[in-house]
Amino acid sequence: MQMDLRTVTIKPQRQTFDHIARRIGADKAATRYQEGTLEVQATHNFHYRPTWDPDHEIFDASRSAIKMADWYAFKDPRQFYYGAYTLARAKQQETAESNFDFVEGRGLADTLPAELKDTVLKLLLPLRHAAWGGNMNAAFITAYGYGTALTQPCIYHSMDMLGIAQYITRVGLLLGDDVEVLDTAKQSWMEDSAWQGLRRYVEDCFVLKDPLEVFVAQMVALDGLLYPLVYETIIDNVLSSKGGTPIAMLTQFMTDWFAETRKWVDATVKTAAAESADNKAQMETWITHWRDRAAAALMPIAQIALGSEADTITSEVVDQFNARMAKAGVSL
């Protein structure tokens, strides 16, 4: 038998706000993602020009070389508004927490071969600074990008990068004997030749002015090569096979995060490129340029863990990246 609970039914006057109804139809109920995203950013009749950039309005599509007839053509396939975002991350941090508990509680860090532990510290810890750079770059797009559909996922990305930097810090404090491992890693980041290509890359991103170029340099090219290379390939495969599974547990957040986030990145690339031939050409130019720089910058870092195999494995990761971009409509 069916339960038939009743409430007083009142016929609504309208299903959603008019600016949403104009997009989805007046007869449809809007999702929370739609109401929290579509046209939320101001677009007309700004009162003053920024004193820090008088050539533009506060929000100004002409800050980018990418041209869109409608900036709300961008969609986040994850449908992240704040509530959905925090719920997703809270679940992931719960997993991360139990992984850390598992590794710490069983003293698994002490069982790692010394050489492997040393490799992980050398490879992983300086990446906390790269993640911090990713936080700054995503904050830049959040601030100066156009349209909430594009900028909203960037504040989430920015905070994710901070979270990742903090997880790496925890791994360092767990594996290292002392907080000095963090200083050592920072020194590598600042001075070791292996890290200078990546540091230069990140710093060069800091002075870009086009939000979509920052997106390409950070989210598409750098994240798109670094995460598959370091987390999916080196940690999850190569080091795990040498007894480094506990490390894979401690970095599960990063692996899961990338698998999820790339869906949004791909959708964004696809939408931008599909808009016009000019956009497509611009995206191709940027992606090619930043992919080559990112691959070159990551090579000496891959060598830390892979030695002479770094070359082959990095090329494989680049091939996968190219295939991924081709699916998103950008042939490289």
Partner 1 sequence: MDMKVGKKKLGLKEKYQHMTRGLGWETTYQSMDDVFPFVKYEGIKIHDWDKWEDPFRLTMDAYWKYQAEKERKLYAIIDAYAQNNGHLNVTDARYINAIKLFLNGISPLEYMAHRGFAMTGRQFPGVGARVACLMQSLDEIRHAQTQIHSLSNYNKYYNGFHEYRHMLERVWYLSVPRSFFDDAVTAGPFEFMVAIGFSFEYVLTNLLFVPFVSGAAYNGDMGTMTFGFSAQSDEARHMTLGLEVIKFVLEQDPDNLPIVQQWIDKWTWRGYRVLTLVGMMMDYMLPKRIMSWKEAWEVYFEENGGALFKDLARYGIRPPKWLDQIEKDKDHISHQAWATFYNYAAACNFHTWIPTDDELDWLSQKYPNSFDKYYRPRLEHWREEAKKGNRFYNKTLPMLCQTCQIPMIFTEPGDPTQICYREVDYKDNKYHFCSDGCKEIFEHEPEKYIQAWLPVHQIYQGNCFEEGVDPTAEGFDPLSAVLDYYHLAQGRDNLDFEGSEDQKNFEMWRGMATKNA
Q: Write out the binding residues for partner 1, residues 182-201 only, by CB under 8 A.
A: 182, 186, 189-190, 199-200
Tokens of 156: 């989430």
* Interaction residues for partner 1, span 56-115 (CB under 8 A): 58-59, 81-83, 86-87, 89-94, 96-97, 100, 104
Nearer to partner 1, 185 or 229 (CB): 185
**DSSP secondary structure of 8-37:** -----S-SS-HHHHHHH-TTSPPPHHHHHH
Question: Token pair 């991360």 is at which residue?
Answer: 96
Least distance from partner 1 to the Cβ atom of residue 23, Å: 12
| Whether the Cβ atoms of residue 92 and residue 257 lie closer than 8 Å to each other | yes
| Whether the Cβ atoms of residue 283 and residue 332 lie closer than 8 Å to each other | no
| Whether the Cβ atoms of residue 182 and residue 117 lie closer than 8 Å to each other | no
Of 64, 71, 76, 176, which lies in the binding site for partner 1, with binding defined by CB under 8 A? 176
Of 4, 12, 69, 277, which lies in the binding site for partner 1, with binding defined by CB under 8 A? 12
279 binds partner 1 (CB under 8 A): no
203 binds partner 1 (CB under 8 A): yes
4 binds partner 1 (CB under 8 A): no
- The count of chain residues that interact with partner 1, using the rule CB under 8 A, is 88
Of 1, 6, 52, 307, which lies in the binding site for partner 1, with binding defined by CB under 8 A? 52
**DSSP secondary structure of 177-213:** SSTHHHHHHHHHHHH-HHHHHHHHHHHHHHT---HHH
Q: What is the C-alpha separation between 203 and 205, in angstroms, rounded?
A: 5
Nearer to partner 1, 223 or 275 (CB): 223
Least distance from partner 1 to the Cβ atom of residue 179, Å: 6
Least distance from partner 1 to the Cβ atom of residue 108, Å: 12
